[in-house]
Amino acid sequence: MKTPQTLVFRMIVALFLMIGFYILALGIAGGLLYIPYAEWKYADRIHIKILLGCVISAGIILWSIFPRMDRFVAPGPVLTGDKNPKLFDMISGVADATKQGMPLEVYAVADLNAWVTERGGFMGIGSKRVMGIGLPLMQMLTVPQLRAVIAHEFGHYHGGDTKLGPWIYKTRESIIRTVQNLGASDSIMHLPFKWYGMGFLRITQAVSRHQEYQADALAAQVAGARVAGEALKAVHTAGVGFNSYWANEVVPVLSAGYRPPLAHGFSLFMSESKIASAVSDVIGKEMTEGKSDPYDTHPSLKERLEALSMQPQGPDAQDSTLAISLLGDDLPRIEHEMLLAIAGGQLEKDLEPVSWDDVGDKVLVPMWAKAVKGKRKFLSGVTPGMFGGIAKNPADLLRKFRTSEHDNYSEEEVTNSMFGTIGASLALALHARGWKFSAKPGEDIVFRSDGPIAIRPFEIIRNIAAGKTTVEDWLGQCRDVGIADLDLGTVGQKAAGGDEK
């Protein structure tokens, strides 16, 4: 790795770009201030509108380009060598292998990512090295793969990227502020900065992509290109599913006042067959068709894997232990403190811990009861035996379901809401009859009794409409378990704990 030469080149490019921006900004601001002065000096007059327009625009530019202090806010709980010795042994080993100093602080974060930076100070001066390691990332990577990821991050220290970064980021922020502030004042003066900013982004993002290749090469030297490549694929794979997991699985549990095991839940979510299949399709496409955009900070997965294929491959990783094990018994505390950090003090500290096995009874059943509450009039007379007719012609029942609260909803949204209400009522009725269901992350809600029949209350109407289940098969199942004529308006409401008239 020719770090010194590439670093000098990057620093020169960044320095000239930064200087060029400030010359442009100061030149335009100075020109604006000169206009009213020249009018007064040479024409012996002052137009108030011109004076105000020039002074205000110049003031906006000067205010926007002034660099701000970097006030670092901890992104999550601090990890320490005392409480997390195995993790710090790994980080220390990578630091030695890359001939870099340890970061002064290491944080657990909720991102599916790991990062290093230098925070605090002014334009990188007086800053400190910090590292963030995502808990979801640790749940999806093996120990050798995490070592490769950390080596990649130390590659940014090794290449001087964290020294260069503050200069680029601060200049980028100044450009963005200038464009936004001038644009908000309806001044055409934002156009030169917009054009300069586009060029600045193209050049500096290309520099960033080069930095990623260099960091990947260092990871290959430390951990082997084969392991580094597997880590890259694992990170991208998990990244496809994380937002869905957080929004659809975690947030409802948190909103109900419970704290599930976050890292373990993500592992369950990603191992669910339908999730794994969908994610595999996305990653397969990335690996064959991925291409970087000029404004991307990172090369595509395909391009990075191709570059790694040119590095020494190294041996296959023999250790399949998940990296999350490096945190040991400290994981529950870390997850709790991380949630508090995410919520910014808005989350109650006494969230009750709950296992994913108990989420169904403690979270979903009350949620279904809330969905059904107040819907007895609509549900009255609706039975599972009618689902075939509802699937083929939902319009009549939809008119009964629609209320003023649906005025701004599309037809599809109201239909989905109606199907959800019917599904919740059937789920409550089955639950009250002793049917069991699982609510692990990523799983469909499936109720089972002692027999072979399985019922998906939230999918059955859609499955009939799509032809995945015939009306005859559904009616046969309903008769076999005695629910064909079950009045959901009565039974579902009773199961919800209500006595609505």
Residue 332 included in any domain: yes
Co-location of 100 and 224 in the same domain = yes
Q: Are residues 334 and 369 in the same domain?
A: no
- Whether 382 and 397 have beta carbons less than 8 Å apart is answered as yes
Is residue 444 scored above 60 in pLDDT?
yes
Do 216 and 276 lie in one domain? The reply is yes
- Does residue 496 register a pLDDT over 60? no
CA-closest candidate to residue 228, choices 156, 297, 111, 317: 317
Tokens of 251: 């947030």
Q: What is the mean pLDDT of residues 265-281?
A: 90
Q: Would you say residue 4 has pLDDT above 60?
A: no
pLDDT digits (tens, 9 = 90+) for 6-35: 556 666 776 787 788 888 888 888 888 888
Residues 395 and 464 in one domain: yes
Whether residue 484 is found in the same domain as residue 371:
yes
Mean pLDDT of the chain: 84
- What's the pLDDT score for residue 445? 93
Strand-pair partners of 125: 122
Would you place residue 485 in the very low, low, confident or very high pLDDT band (cuts 50, 70, 90)?
very high
Query: Of 124-128, 166-170, 416-420, which one has max mean pLDDT?
Result: 416-420
| Prediction pTM value | 0.76
Mean pLDDT value of segment 481-496: 79
* 340 and 413 co-located in one domain: no
In this structure, is residue 187 part of a structural domain? Answer: no
Q: pLDDT at position 143, please?
A: 95
The rounded percent of the chain whose pLDDT value lies above 90 is 35
User: What percent of the chain is predicted at pLDDT more than 70?
Assistant: 88
Q: Which of 192-201, 248-257, 315-324, 364-373 has the lowest mean pLDDT?
A: 192-201
Two structure tokens written together for 492:
């579902």
Domain membership flag for residue 29: no
pLDDT band for position 158 (cuts 50, 70, 90): low
Domain stops at, among 296, 317, 352:
352
Sequence length of the chain is 501
Instruction: Please state the φ and ψ torsions of residue 47, each to the nearest 5 degrees.
Output: -95, 120
320 found inside a domain:
yes
65 in a domain, yes or no?
A: no
Domain assignment of residue 202, yes or no: no
Q: How many CA atoms lie within 13 A of 205 on its CB side?
A: 15
Report pLDDT digits (tens) over 175-224.
777 777 777 766 677 777 778 778 777 777 777 788 888 889 899 999 99
Our measurement of the distance from residue 37's CA atom to the centroid of its chain's CA atoms, rounded to an integer in Å, reads: 52
Taking the CA atoms of 291, 208, 78 and 227 in sequence, report the sign of the dihedral they define: positive
* 319 and 413 inside one domain: no
Q: Is the pLDDT of residue 426 over 70?
A: yes
Number of structural domains the chain divides into: 2
d(CA 7, CA 1): 11
pLDDT confidence tier of residue 374, bands split at 50, 70 and 90:
confident
Q: Does one domain contain both 404 and 315?
A: no
Asked if residue 375 and residue 463 are part of one domain, the reply reads yes
Of 326, 352, 378, which marks where a domain is finished?
Answer: 352
Higher local confidence (pLDDT), 408 or 317: 408
Q: Do the domain assignments include residue 440?
A: yes
Q: Which pLDDT score, from 0 to 100, does residue 186 have?
A: 64
- Characterize 169-196 residue by residue with b for buried, 16 or more Cβ atoms within 10 angstroms of its Cβ, and e for exposed: ebbbebbebbbebbeeeebebbebbeeb
- In the beta sheet, which residues pair with residue 142? 322
Same domain, 311 and 216: yes
Q: Is 447 helix (H, G, I), strand (E, B) or coil?
A: strand
In this predicted structure, the answer to whether residue 495 has a pLDDT above a threshold of 70 is: no
149-158, 452-461, 481-490: which range is least confident on average? 149-158
pLDDT tens column, 385-425: 999 999 988 888 888 888 767 777 888 888 889 999 999 99
Considering only CA atoms, which of 495, 110, 82 is closest in space to residue 265? 110
If asked whether residues 281 and 367 sit together in one domain, one would say no
SS (H, E, C) 60-128: HHHHHHCCCCCCCCCCCCEECCCCCHHHHHHHHHHHHHHCCCCCCEEEEECCCCEEEEEECCECCECCE
Residue 328 belongs to domain spanning: 78-162+210-352
Which residue, among 80, 72, 87, 35, has the nearest Cα to 56 in the 3D structure? 35
Domain boundary among 317, 352, 387: 352
Mean pLDDT within 34-58: 85
Task: Name the nearest CA neighbour of 478 among 397, 389, 372, 387.
Answer: 387
User: In 3-state terms, the chain is what percent helix, strand and coil (to 5)?
Assistant: 65, 5, 30
**Residues 59-110 pLDDT 10s:** 888 888 887 766 777 888 999 999 999 999 999 999 999 888 899 999 999 8
Q: Is 346 exposed, middle or buried (0-12, 13-18, 19+ CB in 10 A)?
A: exposed
Asked if residue 73 is part of any domain, the answer here is no
pLDDT digits over 331-366, tens only?
999 998 888 777 665 555 578 899 999 999 999 999
Same domain for 362 and 344:
no
